Amino acid sequence: FADSIIHLIELEWVDIVGSRIHLSNFRSAACHPSYLEQEKKLGSSDPSSVSLYECFESFTQPERLDDENMLYCSGCKKHVQAMKTVTLWRIPKILVVHLKRFEYRGTFNRSKIGVLVDFPLDGLDLDSHSPQSSVAEDDFVDDRVPMMYDLFGVVNHYGRMGYGHYTAHARRWDETGAEREWAEFDDENVTGVADTDSIVSPAAYVLFYKRRLFL
């Protein structure tokens, strides 16, 4: 090439009938979404693991809306970049935590998030995230009980986006507490878990916690 520039084209198979790739949209490899994502990963300073408590903190942090999601203000009659805050309205008996494991960044950029989320098997304390205490006769739970949870089930996903294999870890429980023994469920195979530390892994996808009502 006269200008010593090599133009690269990276293709990815997608399951979209009738989809077309317009090469004119990518004038160089640096413009392709996959290239930009890889650059982001290489230059990222994010830790290889986070705690479940950090996830809750991030989930409830105030966030300013961007230009494409502005809120219409009835006072000033304009669209403004308002602050959005997500809070926990009620802490239930059974808490299901769905970890975000898959990213969609356009048709050509889909990936699985393999960061280890460190979660406790016993004693997940959500007292700092509890709403203002209020007790009524028809309340699902008594908010005066400490916001302490014990894990009783985990759904795991192995593989990549679009394909993979699911397994589960679980233990028996009732209103008085949870058993110490865990079992692993892999299709028709059920085996005991000798090392409970192995339950906390990057494969964890959905967590099931039971509120510890009786101390």
Q: Which pLDDT value is given to residue 12? A: 38
Does pTM surpass 0.75? no
Query: How many C-beta atoms lie closer than 10 Å to residue 207's C-beta?
Result: 20
The set of residues, in sequence order, having a beta carbon less than 8 Å from that of 142 and lying 6+ positions away, is 135
Task: Cite the beta strand spans of 136-203 per DSSP E.
Answer: 148-160, 163-170, 173-174, 177-178, 183-186, 189-192
Q: What is the Cβ-side half-sphere exposure of residue 74, based on CA atoms within 13 angstroms?
A: 0
Q: pLDDT tens digits, the chain, 215 residues: what are they?
A: 344 443 333 333 333 333 444 444 444 444 555 445 544 544 444 457 899 999 888 888 888 888 888 888 888 888 888 888 877 777 788 999 999 888 877 666 778 888 899 999 999 998 877 765 444 444 545 556 678 899 999 999 998 877 789 999 999 988 777 889 999 999 999 999 999 999 999 999 999 999 887 54
The set of residues, in sequence order, having a beta carbon less than 8 Å from that of 90 and lying 6+ positions away, is 131, 140
